[in-house]
């Protein structure tokens, strides 16, 4: 069930309905009366394929105000206005949407959207805290342009991100606990590009999807997230600080600046091991009958080793990624365990990347190795948000264990 509150962001929920249905979901839209001032019932009915009602007196024989909530596998409210949050927190049931929220026992995902002043008002803050204490998943809104000339926190997240989180909750209703609240997490994503001349570069096939999924899930679970993004063409996760970089040395500088004292650092970016020894100031020309000069390479800095090195500002948990293929000298896990021993990180996520796996696709599988090289968690093939959730679980587990040990 998709509930729609009465705010200008209601038009963005149209795209969410389309995406959910394209993914195979059966979507019933329940708008508030004021939501229909922004997007009419005919639009919701055309997009969802179901009749639309706002009150508890329509279709009395089917007891719609009860049946709608009972049938739902997931309830998403987008946008969740300040009024919807207040009525839900107080247990009101004065329309079909709030009555459904009282009836349903399905997971509930709310995506607030409103002006910044409304979002930060003590009443809204208290209502959000109340709903979270009851197990409702509430996303902090994105930051950006609002209605009129105003900007700030209050934008509805992109439909792509809401769909990804809805899909995750349908797979695992307990996938988004608010257990990273108060934590600071730094994530790198994408692939570095090492310049050869003003036109060409040495790069890799990383799309950044896995790192962006980790940033999205960590923020949804309450963390303050900085995302160091290397050449990624994806929409920014909501309410995440994005730091764009290009090559390995840019990435090293950004990670060195933002990582000290972080609760967790996740190095999901694919960093080039080598770069051209000389990057020409002009384009290398093709000359008929002449082969190009051999390309001399030098090693890039090992960013993960630097982040994991002992010291007073070392992040509490350092997570590395290993994109590996096996060969006649060893298996994927053999190479991964060797890398874990050399890097000094606390956790290593191993991805097998041959045969079109992992890179430039929407699904991933992996194994999370603990610092002693044991096989901690095996994540089957699925959306990259699933692996992202497993990484966050492992981070929370280590942070919690360290805090309990220190007591």
Residues tagged active-site: 204
User: What is the C-alpha separation between 283 and 286, in angstroms, rounded?
Assistant: 9
SS3 category, 79: strand
Q: Which two tokens stand for residue 255?
A: 């990670």
User: What is the C-alpha separation between 314 and 335, in angstroms, rounded?
Assistant: 25
Residue 87 makes CB contacts below 8 A (sequence gap 6+) with: 94, 98
Q: Where are the alpha helices (DSSP H) in 221-356?
A: 248-258, 303-308, 332-343
SS3 category, 123: helix
Whole-number Cα distances in Å, 8 to 13, 14, 86, 182: 10, 12, 18, 31
Evaluate whether 177 touches 169 at the Cβ level (below 8 Å). no
- Residue pointed to by tokens 């090195």: 309
Residue 387 makes CB contacts below 8 A (sequence gap 6+) with: 210, 213, 349, 364, 365, 366, 379
User: What is the C-alpha separation between 224 and 160, in angstroms, rounded?
Assistant: 21
């Amino acid at each position: 069930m998709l509930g729609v509150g009465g705010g200008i962001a209601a038009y963005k929920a149209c795209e969410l309905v389309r995406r959910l249905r394209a993914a195979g979901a059966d979507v019933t839209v329940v708008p508030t009366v004021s939501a229909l001032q922004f997007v009419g019932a005919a639009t919701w009915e055309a997009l969802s394929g179901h009749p639309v009602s706002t009150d508890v007196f329509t279709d009395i024989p089917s007891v719609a105000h009860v049946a709608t909530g009972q049938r739902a596998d997931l309830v998403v409210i987008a946008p969740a206005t300040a009024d919807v949050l207040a009525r839900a927190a107080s247990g009101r049931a004065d329309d079909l949407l709030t009555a459904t929220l009282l009836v349903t026992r399905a997971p509930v995902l709310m995506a607030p959207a409103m002006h910044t002043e409304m979002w930060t008002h003590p009443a809204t803050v208290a209502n959000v805290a109340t709903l979270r204490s009851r197990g409702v998943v509430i996303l902090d809104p994105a930051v950006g342009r609002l209605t009129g000339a105003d900007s700030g926190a209050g934008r509805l997240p992109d439909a792509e991100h809401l769909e990804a989180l809805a899909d995750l909750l349908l797979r695992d209703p307990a996938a988004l606990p608010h257990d990273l609240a108060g934590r600071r997490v730094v994530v790198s994503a994408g692939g570095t590009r090492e310049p050869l001349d003003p036109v060409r570069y040495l790069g890799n096939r990383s799309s950044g999807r896995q790192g962006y999924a980790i940033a999205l899930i960590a923020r949804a679970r309450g963390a303050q997230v900085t995302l160091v993004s290397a050449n990624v063409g994806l929409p920014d996760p909501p309410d995440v600080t994005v730091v764009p970089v290009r090559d390995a040395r840019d990435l090293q500088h950004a990670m060195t600046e933002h990582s000290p004292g972080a609760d967790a650092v996740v190095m999901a970016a694919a960093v080039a091991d080598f770069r051209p020894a000389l990057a020409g100031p002009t384009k290398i020309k093709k000359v008929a009958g002449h082969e190009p000069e051999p390309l001399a390479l030098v090693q890039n800095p090992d960013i993960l080793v630097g982040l994991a090195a002992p010291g007073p500002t070392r992040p509490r948990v350092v997570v590395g990624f290993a994109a590996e293929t096996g060969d006649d000298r060893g298996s994927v896990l053999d190479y991964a365990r060797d890398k874990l021993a050399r890097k000094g990180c606390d956790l290593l996520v191993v991805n097998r990347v041959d045969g079109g796996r992992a890179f430039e696709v929407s699904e991933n599988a992996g194994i999370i190795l603990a610092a002693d090289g044991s096989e901690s968690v095996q994540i089957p093939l699925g959306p990259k948000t699933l692996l992202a959730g497993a990484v966050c679980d492992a981070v929370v587990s280590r942070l919690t264990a360290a805090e309990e040990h220190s007591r």
